Structures are given as C-alpha cells and as structure tokens.
Structure 1
C-alpha cells in the first residue's frame, strides 16, 4: 500500500487597500468597523478527525466502479472527484481506517490510498481596526491603472466561497461552484458566531474589489468592469479536503477559463509533502494559468518549522511572502528558497495603518470593511497584478507572466534574492512597463 503525507492546508487572512486620489476615497470611520479580539475564537474551532481515505483509481478503471470499490472493501463512498480520478471513502462504524486502507490497497483497481485531510482558514488572533489603506500604494497600483484596469481577465479564488457585498464583484452564472456541498452555488455561509469569517470574500476583495464606485475600498484590479471572478468553494468553517482544492483548480482553469488562480491556503507543517493529486492538478494547469499561493503564516521559533508550505513550495507556483508598511518582511511570514515574491500583508497591531483593508459582510455589518493580516492577503495582491499584466498582454503564457513579475520586483530586505522576500516586492507599475531595479534581484 502506498501512502501520501497528510497535507493539512490552512488559510491566512490578507486584505487590499483603498485607493489614492483618482479612485474611491477611503471609507469614513462609520463605514469601517473595529473587530475586538473577543469576537474571534481564542482557540481554533475543533478540527474533525481524519478518518476518511482518498483512493486513486488506476488508469483505465471506469470511475463508475467507485461505489463497488468502496463497498467491496467495507467502506462507504463519500464523494467522487472525476477530474482528479479520486474517491473519498469512509470507514463503517465497526471498521477502522487502517483496516479499510489495507483492503482498499489490495484491490487491483486501486493505484494508491492515503488519508484525507481537512483544510482550514488561519485566523489572525488580534483583530485589526480600520484607519488607513496602504497596500495599493506600496505596489504602485494607481500608476498601473493608467495603463490597464485589468478588464476581462478570469481570476479564480479557491477558498471558502463568496458572500454578497456591494463592493465585491458578483459571480456570473456558471462561474461558481461549491465543491463542499456539491452544488453550483459558491456562497460562503460564514460563521454566525464571529464577525469577519468570510475568508474567501476578503481575499476576493483584495484582488478585485469594485473601484472608483464611490463606495468602500479599491482592489488591485479596477472595477466595475474589472476581472471576471471565478469562485471554487473548497473550504468551510470546519475545513475541507485537498482533493476538493485540486478539483476546484482543474474546474476553474479547464472549464471556466481562469488565467490566474489564487490559493490563500497552505499546510500547517513545511515538512509535510503535498499529496500527488494536488501536485498533478497544479502541473496540469501550469501552462494555462498563473498559480499564486500564500507562503504561509507561523509564529514557531523552530527554524525547521518556518519553511514555505504546500502548495506554495511546489514548482510553477508563485510563493508570496507578506510585508509591512515599511516594506519589511513580517514576523509571521514563512521563509525559504521557495519564496518568489513579497506583497503587502500587514504586521498586525490592531490598526489599519499596519494591516490590510478587506470587504466582508457580517450579521452586524452587512457592508463591513474589516482589516486583517497574513500571507493570504499578500497572495491576492500578486494575483491581481498578474491579472493586470494579462489584461495588457493577453497572449502571454504563464511562464512569461511569472518571469516578468519576478524580474520587475523591487529589491527589499537583503540585496539580491533572499529567503524572506524572494525576488522582492511585487510592483504593478513596473510589471506593466518592464522597468527594473538597476541590478534586479532576479534578472
């Protein structure tokens, strides 16, 4: 029996800043609201034990045999992922996962068996206040908007889904799917217990909030008429399966034409290998879409546990670290040779002057603009710039986009490429113009 390492993906919160002159003004104090620390859970929600198994069928085995494979081994079929060619099988009450895995592995139709893993959103424990929006200024987005607002580029957000907000683009029919509930409605139900739990909405607002509409915040891409948002809901408040993330990536790119994929999620442990299904999904779409992933968040002081996590540590993925208003890498941002770029993520501190503004509705603030910090919000800054670049150069390949973003980054931290910020801070204006540092960190 072959086994896969469990990839416990997690998500960090990051946000986009409002614009400067010429774009929508920053929200007034009445529009932004502070989220007190008491509104966030002091401990993470309980995580569901991993007992389900992911079963990969051999090539040539019809996917219609999924039920027979599961029942023949004494398990129950939970779901089928046709694009990934994987099944999720659950042990019966009297059958342990280990015994079920052994029986499944002995089936000649089965290629591999491994544990399913729940994906989780990383919450920032100290919730921010709203005062200033600085992220767009650091990446020089207003200068880039003079060239293109990013119109028409399909950008996928694989996350917790989306909630209705007047400052976030609506999802066109067919451009959303819920891989958690298996239906075409990607709505994120949120968590009524806490404000600001709509992680996918917050991420989407950073890269594509409606801009210049006299309301709320601005995104990296200009709206209305900005990016076409494609939403794959692969996480809920209790987590999600990595095969749902893989399935969401393939669906968004191969069936909905997404040219940029944002993955504000990552494994808990940098020493955990990405499951083959997730690796293969990213490899399959790497020639069609730019895949951007958060490098991950940690406060672990053990150097062996500070590295970049799955899936950001994979080839052909742009791994994004987080920076503060002074363009310094944040204390929580994961480090390592896999880091490609850095972008505003905020350093915390209970103030929007040091965090990132996002849009997210809650029961008490239907059109709220919470501030947050994390590499999950750094990633959509880069995804948004990639969309601007593809709007300007629709014929470019993902490889060309990745190379341009790295070459035109602003060298920060140590001179040259480093493990904190990679090639440097993403610069929207330079990405469109081709301007570089006199000695680029990544020539």
Structure 2
C-alpha cells in the first residue's frame, strides 16, 4: 500500500469503523508524503479489531503517526455508543492482535512498534477525516456527518442500503465457522484519499466491490464451510511449532500458499493431495516461539485457506505384556490357541463354519505390521507408509492385525479378510504416535484402495479435518471402527471413537467385567474382549495385550463377517445390527460403560442375513 500526504494508510484498512476479526495484512505500507497516519494493519481505528496480525513494515515521512499495527487507535466525538451494531465505535479497541514488521517515520513523527497514537487528542492534528466526505449525500456520508443511521428492517438495519451506497470497496467479514451475524466493517478497504494543494478531493478510480465471502470460491469440494480451529490453551496433544491447512487443489497451488505464509514466518514442510476432500493438506512450521493459537489467527487472514488448525497428536495406549510362546495347534485346520478365551466366549468356531470374512478389505491404520509373521502370512494385500521412513515391525500394529486375521497357531475374528497395512504411527518417539497430517493421508489412501472397513485402534483430540474425512468415508459406505480409549472413567471423550460416524468399542475381561482403564461415555457403542488377549508379536513371537485397541480390532473382524454374509449392508446397518444383537451387560438397553453390551457374532449374523435384513441409508 502506497499513499501521498494527508492520508490514512493501512495494510488491511485505511480507516476502520466497524468490526474486523481473524484477519492479516502481509505487505509493506508506505506514506511517501508528510502528515500521514500509517499502520501495518490499519491507518486509524475507530471500531473493533480482534485476533488480527500485521506482518509488513510501516513507514512515512515527516510529522506522521506510524505504528507496526495501527497509526492511531482513536475515537469519534459526538457519537453515542452502539452507533454501529457489533462494533465498539466510536471508541477504537484492538485486542489479541500482533505486529511483526518494523515502523519508521520522518522528522517530527510519532513511531511505535504497535500503536503510534492511542486515543489521541485534537492536538495531534490528524489528517482531514471525515471532512473528505462532507460534500456527498449518500447514507454513509450522512452517518459520518450527523451520527444518524438510516432506518431498516433487518437485524443490521442499515447494512444492505449502506453497502450499496459506499463509494469504494467494502469488506464484509463473516463469522469464520459460517454462523452468527454478518458484521459491517465500513471503509475497511477505502481508497487512499489525496488532498491536492489547490483544495478539493480527488479519489482514485474505483474498483469493483468484492464478494461478501471472499474465500467461498476457494473451498474444496469436501468442505461446506471454512474452518478455523483455535484450540484452548489447555490442549497439549499437538505439535507446538506446526499447523495444518487445507487449500482447494483445483484452484490454489502450494506455491501460492508458500508465498502467502512466508511473510507470516511460516515454512511449508510437506503437502499431500487428499482426494476424498478435493483439498491439499499442507504442514506448516514456525520457529519464532509463537503459540499455535496466534499462528492460526494469522492464517485466518489468508482468504484462500479453507482450513487452519493445529497438528494434533494421536497415541497408541495398548497395555502390552511379555512375549509368550503359543501352544501348537493343527496348522492344517487352525482352531486357535487354548489361551484365546475369546474363541469360546464368542463361539468363533461355529461362526467360521459359515463365514470367515473372505476377501473383505480392512484397512488397519496403526504402527508397522510384521507381514512376515506366520499367523499373518498372505493376509496383507497392500501396504502404505504415511510416516515416510522405514521402521521395524511394532507390537501394536502386528497385534491388531493378528486379532483380526490370524490363521495359523492363533485364530482371529476374520481369518479370511484382506488387510491394508497402513503405517501411520511412528515409533521414533518415546511412545508410538501419529499426527493429523499422517492420519489424513492414511484414511484417504484406504478409501482409494477400496477398504470396506477402517480399523482405528488409537485415540486423541477432536480434529475438524479428520472429522470431515471420516464423514466422507462413511458416506461412501465404509464402516469406521475405533477404540473407545484407555484414559479411564474421568477422561473426556476421545476421538475418533467419539465421532458420530464411528463405532466406538470398549473392552471387557473373561468374566465380562469392564476393563478398568476404559473410557466411559454416551459414545460407547459395544464391548468386546480386551483384557489379556493373546495376539502375534514381531519376529514370530506372541504377546498378551490389554485395552480397547484390541477390542476394536476384534470388532472390525466381526464386521467383515457381516459384510461377507451381506455385502449390501450400510454403516448404519452395521451399527444397528451390532447393538441389537449384543449381550446386555449392566442395566438397561445401553449404558455409558458397555454401550449396548458384548458383541454376539452368531446373533449378528442372523440379523445380517440378506433374506431377512432390512438396509437403511448410511
């Protein structure tokens, strides 16, 4: 932004009377003459500005007010409070905002890294405003000269007529999550006013008024609204120096994003095309000590960013034990190991006489799976690494795959299933963990590879990107299974288990008692054996494991049996069948400990029979 003498210049607005939230100004602002009010974000603010940022430098000549964020934060006299609905006008307020650029001015100037003049008096002799509109007759000029708003009938009475009457571009800022009132920011993008020495007013050529929703055309097909996810300060399950954004793959390039975020001090680390949403997910990193919250607020100002959120972290919490040898069974016709109490409890032998989950594809999003284990021989159909680095097979991923598809010394719930082994959890940290970015890649790949079921034996915070991707997968008919979580009775709901499109599984022991470490809540759907379960371990070994992770894997196998019996079942059908057929534990039809109760594969298969089953939409 460049202007001459006697001007109000700002990277986002020359003058603000209304309300601005979650906005950013990136470029430099320069006053080439004298007596300018110059700010990296706004020249003069008489309204409300919140959670916004300026990244460019601000400079001016002699006798100017120059601030890294605002030249002046001021007030109009003779205007009552509430003159502009939703704004602090006539008193300027700037909250939760920041400036990153330098400020400089000529002789006699007032210069400050943030606000040059805060509530200045008339002695500061500001440039002429609002006299620049003294001679016009439209409604905005009338308001500035008289303080009287035109009458109207809507909740923002003067908004429609006022916007239509404005002589220059107007920025209308909508609530970033698509709800709430529209807020007026009059004159936020007003043209620079030049006052010639001969007097009078000269306005530069007017531009076409922008759309009220400047980012709407850049929404990817998979998102129906813009998402700005600012986590509470108490949220710790995130990477402190990273953020994740989505841009529309069809209309916005990564290079365009790179150029836009560079002035904000952000570096593009990696990007991935997420086909199911039509978006490109991008990892951004910052190293200047800012909080994730501040960075996301700044990203909100880039209108083509469809989603801005933290890089959330998910962990595997399964309780493992020592490796143990398994009893030798008859490998030619596997019946499982005597230590597998699940086989008798769920009548697995009777079930497998009818169905074995043959050729039903299950994606297992987990740590590295040992495909060479004898019990997993031939069951891995495809492999994918979201981690991007080779790692040794891990006990958790190998155990979950075995709970589903073991077929030698052990017997999984669906020994005929085809597994998609998705390496999303890295073991390079103290405990295996994954991120928003890697799980998004994993779910998207699983959908493209034709998974009928996605097993997610992990838990973590609510994540808007993951929520959207799972909804789209659900709408495609994919059954989503997740662990309820092992954080105990007092834990808040954990995700993705608590997602409404996901079937959350809790764990019980050999006596149908609840695993003491399991989460509780209304999102629990069903229970499955999950205490002291014998499963494969890397390098041909076996292990005893406990938790809701292995219970979820068992249910994924049971769902494969149902889909073999009736491939037309929808995710809604599967949930209904599992819950209706479950053995009630505790009181009532369901409760927050066990959900609808312990899974019963034989009863579920009867309800899934295509001769009697009724299907419902997803």
> Given the two structures, how large is their TM-score scaled by the length of structure 1?
0.74
| Distance in structure 1 (CA, Å) of the matches to 2:597 and 2:562 | 17
Provide the residue aligned with 1:432 in structure 2: 605
- Asked whether the 8 Å contact 1:385–1:428 carries over to 2, the reply is yes
- In structure 1, distance between residues paired with 2:455 and 2:449: 14
Deviation at 1:434, TM superposition (A): 2.8
Q: How does 1:93-108 map to 2 (within 5 A)?
A: 97=292, 100-108=295-303
* Structure-2 residue corresponding to 1:247: 441
Unaligned runs of 5+ in 1: 11-46, 191-196, 347-354, 436-443
Task: Report the counterpart of residue 359 of structure 1 in structure 2.
Answer: 536
Q: Does the 8 Å CA contact 1:9/1:118 hold for their aligned counterparts?
A: no
Q: Are the counterparts in 2 of residues 160 and 188 from structure 1 also a CA contact under 8 Å? A: no
Bigger mean CA deviation after superposition, 163-172 or 97-106? 97-106
Q: Are residue 111 (structure 1) and residue 306 (structure 2) matched?
A: yes
- Offset at 1:218? 1.0
The CA deviation at 1:424 is 0.9
CA distance in 2, matches of 1:141, 1:63: 52
Q: Which runs of 5+ in 2 are unaligned?
A: 1-21, 23-227, 327-338, 609-618
Say yes or no: does 1:343 pair with 2:532.
Answer: no
Task: Indicate the SS of the match to 1:136.
Answer: helix
Residue deviations 1:97-152 (CA, integer Å, cap 9, x gap): 56644443322221332221222221427658678211232222211111111100
By how many angstroms is 1:408 displaced?
0.8
Structure 2 SS opposite 1:149: coil
1:7-55, CA deviations, whole angstroms, 9 ceiling, x for partnerless residues? Answer: 9999xxxxxxxxxxxxxxxxxxxxxxxxxxxxxxxxxxxx995311111
CA RMSD, 1 decimal = 2.9
Deviations 1:162-209 (A, max 9, x none): 123121144656x22111117xxxx6524xxxxxx4311111100111
* Mapping 1:265-280, distance limit 5 Å: 265-267=458-460, 272=461, 274-280=462-468
Secondary structure at the residue paired with 2:537?
coil
Give the structure 1 partner of residue 483 of structure 2: 294
Distance 1:413 1:399, change over 3 A: same
> Deviations 1:274-306 (Å, cap 9, x if unpaired)?
11111111100113211001000024xxx6x33
Q: Distance in 2 between matches of 1:367 and 1:291?
A: 29
Preserved CA contact (<8 Å) 2:579 2:597? yes
Contact 1:202 1:358 in 2 (8 A): yes
User: What is the alpha-carbon distance in structure 1 between the residues aligned to residue 361 and residue 443 of structure 2?
Assistant: 13
Contact 2:324/2:542, CA 8 A, preserved across alignment: no
Q: What residue number does 1:67 align with?
A: 258
Aligned twin of 1:204: 401
Residue 413 of structure 2 aligns with which residue?
220
Residues 257-289 of structure 1 show CA distances to partners (whole Å, capped at 9, x for unaligned) of 11011010112xxxx5x1111111110011321
* Structure 2 residue aligned with 1:166: 374
The whole-number CA distance in structure 1 between the counterparts of 2:469 and 2:322 is: 34
Distance 1:165 1:295 in 2: 28
Task: Give deviations 1:69-100, integer Å, cap 9, x for gaps.
Answer: 44353222122132153211011467765664
Q: Given the alignment, which residue of 266, 270, 283 partners 1:79?
A: 270
Structure whose alpha-carbon radius of gyration is higher: 2
Give the distance between the partners of 1:171 and 1:8, measured in 2 at CA.
42
Q: 3-state DSSP class of the match of 1:62?
A: coil
After superposition, the C-alpha distances for 1:390-409 in whole angstroms (9 at most, x for unaligned) are 01112222221221111111
Which residue does 2:84 correspond to in 1? none
Aligned length: 360
What is the CA-CA distance between 1:378 and the residue it aligns to?
0.4
Partner of 1:138: 345
- Counterpart residue number, 1:310: 495
User: 2:376 and 2:521 mapped to 1: Cα distance?
Assistant: 33
TM-score by length of 2: 0.54
Larger relative strand fraction: 2
CA contact (8 A) 1:263 1:294 kept: yes
Assess, with a 3 A threshold, how the Cα gap between structure 1 residues 260 and 109 changes in structure 2: closer, same or farther: same
